[in-house]
Amino acid sequence: HHKFAAQHRTREFQEADEVNLLNEEDMHIFGLRPMADPLELVCCNACRKPIKASQYAAHSELCKSFSSGLEVNLEHLSPAVDKKPPRKERK
């Protein structure tokens, strides 16, 4: 089944009327020959998403800043389960 699907995709690419070009801002991610270059993926430790190895450093910085901001926001939103209630003052 996978072999047939791969053959079908290859035939579609060969019969395509126009080239599917990458946007200029995506070139640094996918490289000059995305269909020919090997795809090397790594797993992000923070979000567990597969990331292209060459883009890991940039993703890691974004993911780290996003997750730290998310933790801060969640701290403010979640009820304090582990914290003791404040002591009542004596009169």
Domain-embedded: residue 61? yes
Number of domains in the chain: 1
- Percent of the chain predicted with pLDDT > 70: 66
Residue 89, classed as helix, strand or coil, is coil
pTM of the full structure: 0.45
Domain-embedded: residue 48? yes
Domain-embedded: residue 84? no
Which amino acid, 31?
Answer: G
Domain-embedded: residue 90? no
List, for residues 50-76, the tens digit of each pLDDT value.
Answer: 999 989 998 988 888 776 665 444 444
The pLDDT of residue 19: 67
Residue 49 and residue 67 in contact, taking contact as beta carbons nearer than 8 Å: no
List, for residues 18-30, the tens digit of each pLDDT value.
Answer: 666 777 787 777 7
Domain-embedded: residue 33? yes
Domain-embedded: residue 36? yes
Domain-embedded: residue 44? yes
The domain of 57 spans: 12-75
Distance CA 45, CA 47 (A): 6
